[in-house]
Amino acid sequence: MTENILQISSLEKHYPARSGKDVPVLRELDLSLSPGDFVALRGPSGCGKTTLLLCAGALLRPTAGSVLIDASNPYALSAAARSAFRAAHVGFVFQNFHLVPYLSVLDNIMLCGLAAAPQPTLPTRAIDMLDKLGLSHRLHHRPAELSTGEQQRVALVRALAGGANLILADEPTGNLDAANSRILLDTLANFASEGGAVLMVTHEPSASDRAFTRLDMRDGCLHSC
């Protein structure tokens, strides 16, 4: 039996309100991703999609329930150990890229290895991925010198180069044209087909159609499409 890459069980997340009564955002939520899964998560703004990604990626501690990544509970670790765990196991792709403006393309990608154990092959792996995405001529450029599509491809390589087998993507095509969206979605689909797992939040039908599975979120709960 294949072990899940991501296993979320009875997940709840509440936020405090001025009234003194907590506001529930995630409600008794269950989700599992196995090798080969590419899941698109859809739903209206404010329904909890990004909160779910943050909890799934060990960035936001849930109120209740459990999150296991590669059968390990990141929330049982110290903050420093959890950071190293994330760097080794989870790649993040965001709509706004979050590239460091004063670093080169290659140095931005190398950031994915800072918190993890040393990876001597990381530079070679990064350069190879950049070449496959048509960015080998941009190694020493800074983000301001890149197009929007190029910046997103750099952010994608940063998520993949560290060797993580779980990718969490929050509206990754939101700032891209059709051609660059296709490149990004094809890369995510190939990553899943080769044994990784992808959970992608999106409002775009063309992006959700590219995923292998689609889920809707309403009122903090998941529903199959």
The CA–CA distances, whole Å, from 69 to 40, 122, 166, 204 equal 19, 22, 8, 27
The confidence score (pLDDT) of residue 1 equals: 41
The fraction of the chain above a pLDDT of 90, given in percent, is 68
Q: What does the alpha-carbon distance between residue 225 and residue 211 come to, in Å, rounded to a whole number? A: 12
The confidence score (pLDDT) of residue 119 equals: 64
Query: Is the distance from CB of 28 to CB of 184 less than 8 angstroms?
Result: no
Kindly list the structural domains of the chain, giving each domain's residue range(s) and its CATH number in brackets, ordered by start: 36-47+79-224 (3.40.50.300)
Please state the pTM of the whole predicted model: 0.91
List pLDDT tens digits, range 73-132: 999 999 999 998 998 899 999 888 889 999 999 999 888 765 555 566 788 888 998 998
The confidence score (pLDDT) of residue 225 equals: 59
**Rounded mean pLDDT for each run of 10 residues along the chain, 225 residues in total:** 86 87 90 97 90 96 96 96 92 89 92 61 86 90 94 92 92 90 94 97 94 93 80
Cβ-proximal residues to 167 (8 Å cutoff; 6+ apart), any chain:
90, 91, 92, 93, 159, 160, 188, 191, 196, 197, 198, 199, 200
The confidence score (pLDDT) of residue 61 equals: 96
